[in-house]
Chain A
Amino acid sequence: MATFSVEELKVQYHSRNSTVKAVDGVSFSLDDKESIGVVGESACGKSTLGLAIIRSSSGGKIVSGDILLDGKSIVNMTEVEFTKTMRWKEISMVFQGAMSSLDPVFPIKQQFKEILKTYDYNDNHIKTIENTIDLVGLDSSVLDKFPHELSGGMKQRVVIAMALLLRPKLMIADEPTTALDMLTQAQVLDIFKKLKKNTSIMLISHDLGIISEIADKVAIMYAGQIVEFGTLQEVYSNPKHPYTQALLRSVPKIKGKSEITSLKGNPPNLVSPPAGCRFYDRCPQAMEKCKKMPPMIKIKTGYTSCWLYE
């Protein structure tokens, strides 16, 4: 049974003269304790998708579609109800660049307590905080420190601990390793690997390598839509959509003389996206039919939206 699903979600940013269709009809579902990786280029709508799920997208409005957690729709909840029952308790998020958002004038412990107070947490505060900080592999001595006393990797772990504080069912992590050094990045990934046994993680990243460490299922996003969705195994070893294929081919590797090819061109403007397939201009296999929007076509473990597999 799917415990978390997104159905035909559309999120738009409205400005005076135009509407940006940042997320345009996105659907996927996850089983209990399954993790998903959302991959795409910048401005493909992957962050907006994450922010929309936790209802923190500033300016972005959910126009249609549904988000269901354990069968309960969270789109139609009132703001008060969402904060009271969902935000941080069931769904939390490690925002992009979150480690620089720690308050410089309070010790870490204070900032944890603030979360517990905001969400009316009744159990022993100190014990919960210490247990959580242990989950991310940090010593409880960091709790008395100020953010400037911590390294980048430690700060990132603190922010991840904050997202875990109320033991949510789903944690969204938006580019959680981007600003970190290689070795630290690997350590943080290791923590995610351990955490995903108990919590579903939605990892948003542009890095196909990082995704492959965490995600049971993968969604490839392009220009506001998911063009391919399936298990990691299937998407990586047997990519269907030409965009997925191109993306996987464009990554330089250390081992072996793999042939890599770059992807030409730019993604379309999301104010007035083309009526047909959005990858049309860059697709090496484009055909006449592609001028019409491809439907979601069922493949082995998920779906792809490409006419080639009709």
Chain B
Amino acid sequence: MKEVLSVKNLGKYFVKGEFSRQKETIRAVDDVSFSVKKGQTLVLAGESGSGKTTIARLILRAIEPDSGEIVFDGIKIDNSTTILKKMRTECQMIYQDPYASIDPRMKILDAVREPLDIHNIGRPNERKELVFSALSDVKLDPQEIALKYPHMLSGGQRQRVAIARSIATKPKLVIADEPVSMLDVSVRLGILELIKELQDKHDISFLYITHDLATAKYVGHEIAILYLGKIVEAGPIDEVLLQPRHPYTQALLDSISEPSPDNLHKEKRIRINEPLKIDTYKGCRFRARCPYAIEKCKQEPTLEEVDNHRYVACFVEIN
């Protein structure tokens, strides 16, 4: 299957305390490789600080990577204007907070039209049509909504507008950074369904960034679990979430509370330890909290294929 995006050995380091005597390097993204297949959704999952948003920003060149390469649609991304321009038309982003991502002083029509104007897509007199078709794609009534301002819409409607704007330029890849975490439970599913539908209709690939594994399973085909800037486990989403191979994935799954009356009298058991005070960058990064840690874990494990398309970076067999 054709790959739309492939990321190889990506790295980004931030220096903390640049002006103080004790400098500390945070390896926000460290030797990360993955690829997104055409018409599929790859989920990047992890807790805050795992580097998932940094990866999104690196792909869009909002920040410069320190190492590694990004290949989009067969072209290696660098800083030349033509390549960046292609990248920024064909790769779009949906942000977490629809209350902040749409300019409050722009009418919906203008907000969705803006990327078309910037990238010079369609003749100016055709653009309104394009905006209307994008709005219908996200199940909003263009006639009703086009001349409204964002404050007149609900959270779910706003996120639909943000999605309409991201698909207006007919992108090949959309990066969605926690697109439903700010929305109400009842609205969430509608947005997830919409994402799946747009994918089928326009053959868009999604890079779906989230910490919520249950919604991830609903939209995703493959998943990569990040822990402190490194991928610890990757593979087809159903397999990874139903039979985790990495202790961290297992702990994340333990921590999920699914609505069930049996939870009340069950003790919640998460297979994780209180963190030890050790240097996280020496050896396996999860070693400090891992209940399965062995002596060998002082070396850094690499992400290796253990089964058909299943990748794990761990020395221990947990099952």
Contacts and interface: CB of A to CB of B under 8 A. Distances in A.
Given A212-B260, A252-B217, A182 B185 contact: no
Contact of B258 (A183, A187, A216, A254): A254
Given A250-B185, A250-B186, A213 B257 contact: yes
A250 B188 contact: yes
A96 B268 CA distance: 24
A53 to B, nearest CB: 23
Contacts of A248: 259
B264 A263 contact: no
Name, among B184, B256, B264, the residue most crowded by chain A CB atoms within 10 Å (CB to CB).
B264
Interface stretch (B64-72, B77-85, B171-179, B208-216): B208-216
Contacts of B267: 193
A42 B242 CA distance: 32
A192 to B, nearest CB: 10
A255 B48 CA distance: 24
Interface stretch (B105-113, B247-255, B302-310): B247-255
A233 B264 CA distance: 9
Contact of A189 (B192, B211, B268): B268
Given A41-B186, A250-B185, A264-B190, A212 B263 contact: yes
B218 interface: yes
Interface string A223-255: 000000000110011000000001110111111
Nearest to B217: A254
A181 interface: yes
B71 to A, nearest CB: 32
Contact of B259 (A186, A189, A236): A236
Contacts of B214: 251-254
Nearest to A261: B189
Interface stretch (A10-18, A76-84, A112-120, A201-209): A201-209
A247 to B, nearest CB: 6
A183 B186 contact: no
Contacts of A212: 257-261, 263-264
A183 B218 contact: no
B287 to A, nearest CB: 16
Given A208-B259, A209-B257, A251-B214, A232 B189 contact: no
Contacts of B185: 41, 206-208, 247, 250-251
A255 B186 contact: no
A260 B218 contact: yes
Interface residues of A, number: 41
Q: Interface on chain B toward A: helix, strand, loop, or mixed SS?
A: helix
Interface string B145-181: 0000000001110000000000000000000000000
B264 A215 contact: yes
A187 B289 CA distance: 14
A287 to B, nearest CB: 22
Contact of B186 (A181, A182, A247): A247
A281 interface: no
Given A189-B268, A251-B214, A232 B261 contact: yes
Nearest to A193: B268
Nearest to A257: B238
B259 A185 contact: no
B200 interface: no
Contacts of B213: 254
Interface residue tally of chain B, by bracket?
A: 35 or more
Nearest to B213: A254
A266 interface: yes
Contacts of B254: 186
B88 to A, nearest CB: 31
Contact of A251 (B253, B258, B270): B258
Contacts of B218: 252, 260
B255 A185 contact: yes
Contacts of B297: none
A210 interface: yes
Contact of A209 (B48, B184, B251, B256): B256
B117 interface: no
Given A41-B184, A183-B255, A263-B189, A214 B264 contact: yes
Contacts of B211: 181-182
A303 B318 CA distance: 46
A70 interface: no
Name, among A214, A215, A247, A255, the residue most crowded by chain B CB atoms within 10 Å (CB to CB).
A255
Contact of A262 (B190, B217, B259): B190
Contact of A186 (B155, B215, B257): B257
A310 interface: no
A161 to B, nearest CB: 18
A183 B270 contact: yes
Contact of B48 (A181, A206, A236, A260): A181
Contact of A213 (B184, B193, B263, B270): B263
Interface string A163-204: 000000000000000000111011101100100000000000
B202 to A, nearest CB: 21
A6 B117 CA distance: 57
Contact of A255 (B192, B242, B268): B242
B60 interface: no
Contacts of A187: 270
6 contacts: A41-B187, A183-B251, A206-B185, A251-B214, A263-B186, A263-B190
Given A206-B185, A262-B189, 13 more contacts: A41-B187, A42-B155, A186-B255, A190-B268, A207-B257, A212-B261, A232-B264, A250-B185, A252-B215, A254-B214, A255-B242, A263-B187, A263-B189
Interface of B: 47-48, 154-156, 184-190, 192-193, 211, 213-215, 217-218, 241-242, 251-261, 263-264, 267-268, 270, 272
